[in-house]
Amino acid sequence: MGTKIPLNYLSIDNEGIHLMIQSLVNGLKANLLIDTGASRTVLDVKRINYYEPGAKLRKNNKFFSGIGAGDIETYLAPISLIELGETKIKDHIVVLFDLKVINQSYAVFDLPKIDGVLGGDVLKACNAMIDYKNGFLILE
């Protein structure tokens, strides 16, 4: 059995849920929204210097969609260490963009701010499974 990380169920206006986990990015606490439909893991561009001081950002010229509407200006940056429970992911390239709109929406429902999105790249690499019944994200 792999790492078991408790899920935080975020109720969205009593009509649905989002899943969030607590993680560490370079030893600092980060709330990550689990998004099985997101191809890449994302961090908030406004907080990158908090998590990875001196990060070398590269403009991402690839089309990015999914959250919000219209064109989204994105960047890429390496993150030295992402810790998901006991699972450690080193030197991982994440996508960066402004998560302000999402956090404003969450504030309307009195939900905690998110620092990033855990996407399919990490979920697949860790052979992740979501155990809804028992409330865990399980990583191999």
Q: Tell me the pLDDT tens digit for each residue of 97-134.
A: 999 999 998 999 899 999 999 999 999 999 999 999 99
Residues 6+ apart with CB under 8 A from 42: 94, 95, 96, 97, 99, 116, 117, 119
Contact 33, 22 (CB under 8 A): no
Rounded CA gap, 63 and 80, in Å? 25
Model confidence at 50: pLDDT above 70:
yes
- List the structure tokens of 75: 């960047």
Q: pLDDT band for position 12 (50/70/90)?
A: confident
Q: What pTM does this model have?
A: 0.90
- List the structure tokens of 62: 């690839």
Rounded CA gap, 51 and 28, in Å? 7
Structural domains in the chain, CATH included, are 3-139 (2.40.70.10)
